[in-house]
Each structure stands twice: as structure tokens, then as C-alpha cells.
């Protein structure tokens, strides 16, 4: 089971990188994440055609804005677990 520590470290670092990118987009440019959130909400066809209503757009931007701090918290949690597993592996 000597591979468990490095594997956990690798997974946590990968998760932290993806979450960091998502947190950066939600903090810096929330409109850039609108297409992804529209796809998740099943409104991708309307978004792609430019027929998304103002109400739906504001609601989706609220989702992106509401995810800012939880994403940031999860970045730090994943980085902490990665560091802890790396220290556990190093002995």
C-alpha cells in the first residue's frame, strides 16, 4: 500500500488545480462561467442561440457568484489534504 499516499496527493493536487481555475473564473469573470452553468441547468440551447431571458441570465449569474467562496474553500481544503498526504508519505 505504498502507492496510496502519492496517489492521494496526485488526486488532491489535480482537484485543487481544477477548483482553483473555477474559483478564479467565478471571482474575476463570472460571465465567463455562464455557458457552463447554462449547460448544467439545461439551458445550453437557448444560451447558444442568444435567446436566454434576462431573468434566467441573472439567475445563472447568481449561481456563479454564489459558488465563489465554497470553491475557494474547497481549493484550500484540497491543497491541505494534498500537503498532509505528501507529508504522510515522506514519513
DSSP 58-70: HHHHHHHHHTHHH
- Residues written for the chain: 91
State what percent of residues in the chain have pLDDT above 70: 98
Question: Distance between CA atoms of 66 and 44, rounded to whole angstroms?
Answer: 20
Read off the C-alpha cell for 36: 457552463
Q: pTM for this one? A: 0.75
Helix axes 4-28, 68-90, angle to 10 degrees: 160
Domain map (residue ranges) of the chain: 4-90
- CB-CB contact of 9 with 86 (8 Å): yes
Provide the pLDDT for residue 1.
Answer: 60
Amino acid at each position: 500500500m505504498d502507492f496510496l499516499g502519492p496517489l492521494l496527493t496526485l488526486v488532491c493536487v489535480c482537484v485543487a488545480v481544477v477548483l482553483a481555475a473555477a474559483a478564479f473564473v467565478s471571482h474575476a469573470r463570472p460571465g465567463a462561467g455562464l455557458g457552463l452553468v447554462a449547460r448544467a441547468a439545461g439551458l445550453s440551447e437557448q444560451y447558444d442561440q442568444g435567446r436566454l431571458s434576462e431573468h434566467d441570465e441573472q439567475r445563472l449569474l447568481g449561481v456563479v457568484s454564489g459558488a465563489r467562496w465554497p470553491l475557494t474553500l474547497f481549493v484550500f481544503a484540497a491543497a491541505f489534504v494534498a500537503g498532509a498526504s505528501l507529508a504522510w508519505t515522506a514519513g
